[in-house]
Amino acid sequence: MAPEAVERALPELPERVDVLVNNAGGNTDFPSTDNVDLKVLDAAWTANFRANLFTAALVTSAVRERIPDGGRIVTVGSIAAHTGAGSYGWAKAALEAWNIDVARYLGRRGITANIVAPGLVVDTEFFHGKLTDERRDLLIGATMTKRAGHPADIAATVRFLASPEAGHVTGQVVHCNGGAYVG
């Protein structure tokens, strides 16, 4: 997302943002390949970095003065930050480092900043219809719960982090992936 796009959208956003959920992004390099062409790699990695980190960072920076004391920032990360997933995983790992800075900077105002890191979530368009049954079964088999995640699982975790009850939880990565990654 370009800074100009964020600036154009600002007048349409509310003057007060009690809860900001950064849920834009996705894997712009899916399916990734073993391409060694440096220009192709540069484009793929830059696109994932822009889609995942820049979008969250630019929007958060643009609205941070609209977030009142005690507000909440929840960013959707991914298990891929810890399991290796090429440029997508790298971009999601960068989100985690960025989130710590946001939590530290805004914490003095009682604003919390956290990441929800899903694993496999079905009933979304993330895999662009290209998730094979074999891959799906492998990902489900890697969970302790032996089931795929659903959008409602992620929403419930976001809802908790956005609530007053989570007022002392900040700078954290909450893994909502059925135990496929424990960290």
Q: pLDDT for 76-112, tens place per residue?
A: 999 989 887 778 888 999 999 999 999 999 999 999 9
Can 88 be counted among the known catalytic residues? yes
Residue type, 57: A
| Structural domain contains residue 60 | yes
| Structural domain contains residue 87 | yes
Domain hosting residue 166, numbered range: 3-25+33-176
126, 79 contact by CB (below 8 A): no
Q: Residue 54 — very low, low, confident or very high, per pLDDT cuts 50/70/90?
A: very high
Q: Is the pLDDT of residue 15 over 70?
A: yes
| Structural domain contains residue 10 | yes
| Structural domain contains residue 103 | yes
Closest CA to 53 of 72, 30, 76, 85: 76
| Structural domain contains residue 7 | yes
Q: pLDDT for 22-52, tens place per residue?
A: 998 766 665 566 667 888 888 888 888 898 8
| Structural domain contains residue 183 | no
| Structural domain contains residue 182 | no
Torsions phi, psi for 73 (to 5 deg): -125, 125
Q: pLDDT for 121-140, tens place per residue?
A: 887 666 556 777 887 788 88
Distances (CA, A) of 47 to 41, 84, 98, 167: 10, 17, 18, 34
H or E segment at 129?
none
Q: Residue 11 — very low, low, confident or very high, per pLDDT cuts 50/70/90?
A: very high
The DSSP annotation for 8-72 comes to HHGGGS-S--SEEEE-----TT-S------HHHHHHHHHHHHIIIIIHHHHHHHHHGGGSPTT-E
What's residue 77's pLDDT?
A: 95
| Structural domain contains residue 148 | yes
Starting at the earlier edge strand, list the strands of the sheet with 72-76.
19-22, 72-76, 112-118, 173-176
As for how many domains the chain has, the answer is: 1
108, 64 contact by CB (below 8 A): no
Q: pLDDT for 162-181, tens place per residue?
A: 999 999 999 999 999 988 88
Q: Is the pLDDT of residue 117 over 60?
A: yes
- Of 49, 54, 88, 181, catalytic: 88
Q: What is the CATH number of the domain that holds 121?
A: 3.40.50.720
176, 117 contact by CB (below 8 A): yes
